[in-house]
């Protein structure tokens, strides 16, 4: 357990930051799920708009440090590849 006032404050800050990061991570997952649902539904125009939103959320999360920037880029790349495969089929 933390003894010093500084350590206690750090624990409070970490708890607040954890809540914010959980919300951001959840938001990213929601947008990715919306994209995947649109893709499996076969609606390419909805999938394209969902991809743009998912890409934006992933890059925002990467910028905020919720996910590593390479992780965000990798996920965007894979989503785009899925969209490309669906549009060619």
SS3 65: coil
Give the C-alpha distances (Å, rounded to integers) separating 82 from 2, 3, 20, 22, 74. 48, 51, 30, 26, 12
Domain positions in the chain are 5-88
Q: What is the pLDDT of residues 67-84, one digit of tens each?
A: 999 999 999 999 999 999
Cα separation, 50 vs 64, whole angstroms: 21
Instruction: Please tell me the pTM assigned to this model.
Output: 0.86
- For 12-69, what is each residue's pLDDT tens digit? 999 999 999 999 999 999 999 999 999 999 999 999 999 999 999 999 999 999 999 9
What is the third-level CATH fold of 5-88? Methane Monooxygenase Hydroxylase; Chain G, domain 1 (1.20.58)
């Amino acid at each position: 357990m933390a003894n010093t006032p500084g350590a206690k404050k750090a624990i409070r800050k970490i708890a607040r930051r954890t809540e914010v990061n959980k919300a951001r991570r959840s938001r990213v997952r929601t947008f990715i799920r919306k994209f995947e649902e649109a893709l499996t539904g076969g609606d390419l125009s909805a999938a394209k708009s969902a991809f743009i939103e998912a890409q934006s959320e992933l890059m925002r999360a990467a910028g905020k440090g919720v996910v590593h920037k390479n992780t965000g880029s990798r996920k965007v790349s894979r989503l785009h590849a899925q969209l490309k495969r669906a549009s060619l089929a």
